[in-house]
Structure 1
Amino acid sequence: MLPEPSGLPDPLPEPAVEDLRLETVLSALSDPLRLRIVRKLLLDSEEFDHTCGWFGLDRPKSSLTHHFRALREAGITRQRQYGLERRSQVRVADLNSRFPGLLDLVAEWNPAEGDHAG
């Protein structure tokens, strides 16, 4: 996990670590597109956080906004507002402390060839 740079904007509202609930996290991850987003952040992240465009998803902006909000509200990702864009990162330390091994499973997940969610 990359260190947090100084001078970041405050995160958008998210659940506190002690309020993270397994059923909420699993529900958010049950969508194949959201699972792909989290997996890509875990495996391919080269910066601290990423804009929606970095993911290369061919979806309407309103659809992506919905998916990224669902991940943030479940406590899986943290989002920060930079002017007109929001950037995301996985809450690795928080999720590992609450649900050890869960992110390892997400990282090891291999999408089925017939899965066209992304």
Structure 2
Amino acid sequence: MTTTTSPRVLEHPTRDQIRLEEVLHALADAVRLQIVRDMAREDTELSCSYFDLPVTKSTTTHHFRVLRESGVIRQMYRGTAKLNCLRRSDLDALFPGLLDSVLSAAGAQADREGETA
């Protein structure tokens, strides 16, 4: 992990520290998978407030922390907003095709279940 130099800098694993089992764990939760699907669809930095999740604020914070600590997303502060972006290039370099396969399968499941996202 990188060293935190201020409370406004969040720790992220380097590309070499990202582990497959942690990525799979992060993606195995339905709420976290929805966050990742939204981020992949928008393909830009999104604030935490962008996401309309069916959980409490503290649970939302937990989900973002799991995604960040596993290396799936990067979080950074811009002013007072915490922005999130998918670490697609890191994940694709380490695990070619994994993210696309998971997103495709999640989309197919959502279609079967009649979801809109």
TM-score by length of structure 1 reads 0.78
Deviations 1:24-77, CA, capped at 9 Å, x for gaps: 1001111011011101111133xx311112122242211110000000000000
Q: Distance in 1 between matches of 2:45 and 2:57?
A: 18
Counterpart pick for 1:53 among 46, 49, 53: 49
Identity of aligned residues (%): 42
Q: Structure 1 86/59 Cα, relative in aligned 2: closer, same or farther at 3 Å?
A: same
User: Residue 12 of structure 2 contacts residue 74 of structure 2 at CA under 8 Å; is this kept in 1?
Assistant: yes
**C-alpha separation in 1, matches of 2:11 and 2:76:** 9
Q: TM-score, normalised to structure 2's length?
A: 0.79
RMSD: 2.2
How many matched pairs? Answer: 105
When you count helix as a share of all residues, which structure comes out higher? 2
Moved over 2 A (4+): 82-85, 110-115
Per-residue deviation, 1:86? 1.2
Distance 2:16 2:30 in 1: 26
